[in-house]
Amino acid sequence: MATLLHIDASARPGRSGIEPHGSHTRRLSARFVERWRAARPADRIVYRDVGQQPPSPVTGEWIHASFAQPAQREPWMHAALAESDALVDELLAADVIVAGVPMYNFGVPAGFKAYIDNIVRVGRTFGFDRSRASLPYWPMLTDMRKRLVILSARGDYGYEADEHMARANHVEPHIRTVFGYLGIDDVQSIAVEYDEFADERLRVSLDQAERRIEALVSELAESLELLAC
């Protein structure tokens, strides 16, 4: 049995195609999870909605507590890190992470940025040692074989590599950089474009994304079966 961590980051509460003004990324992530349940009904699904319930932003107290040695932390430090610890625990337990993350002003939504800031934790998800001058930082999740799927949506179009808006895309590249820093470099991404145009191109983009999700679920589910053998 595997564990899938399902994250939604859209500020829109509903799904497109079901509710007016619903979120495309919630639609895609729900589609992924529905297909996953059908392919692997025994798996555990953990849901985290950082769009509607964003994690607390990092504060000075949080930073102080996170860099203190665990054995030397005072009660207030444990309290300051409690939410972060819960988010890290979820990440560590997950075999597959599927994240619905729309593009807001060329980057990730604030709630997802707060999530990132809470899971990048020295001593838990990355290591740091000042005595290692050439490589003081190292990823701690490298050998855990985690897979990350990014499902995004964009108002405009042309944000893929080598396309005309690629340099303005700070969603997938940012997420890949952060999770790679932790040791998760098996990353797949699927995106919907043309949201602001709301025409046939959007419909085609949604159809293509949903077909790609179905193929990706089959591929990932099969790879987990092979690992279990």
105 is in an annotated binding site: yes
Q: Given this model, what pLDDT does residue 224 score? A: 87
For the segment 98-125, what is each residue's pLDDT rounded down to a tens digit? 999 999 999 999 999 999 999 999 999 9
104 is in an annotated binding site: yes
Q: Given this model, what pLDDT does residue 134 score? A: 72
* Regions of the chain with pLDDT less than 70: 133, 226-229
Q: Given this model, what pLDDT does residue 229 score? A: 57
Mean pLDDT across the chain, nearest whole number?
95
223 is in an annotated binding site: no
- Amino acid at site 138: W
- Which tokens sit at 61? 């107290």
Domains annotated on the chain, with CATH = 3-228 (3.40.50.360)
10 is in an annotated binding site: yes
- pTM score > 0.85 for this model? yes
- Which tokens sit at 54? 């964003």
**Is 115 within 8 Å of 55 (Cβ atoms)?**
yes
Q: Given this model, what pLDDT does residue 28 score? A: 98
Q: Given this model, what pLDDT does residue 164 score? A: 97
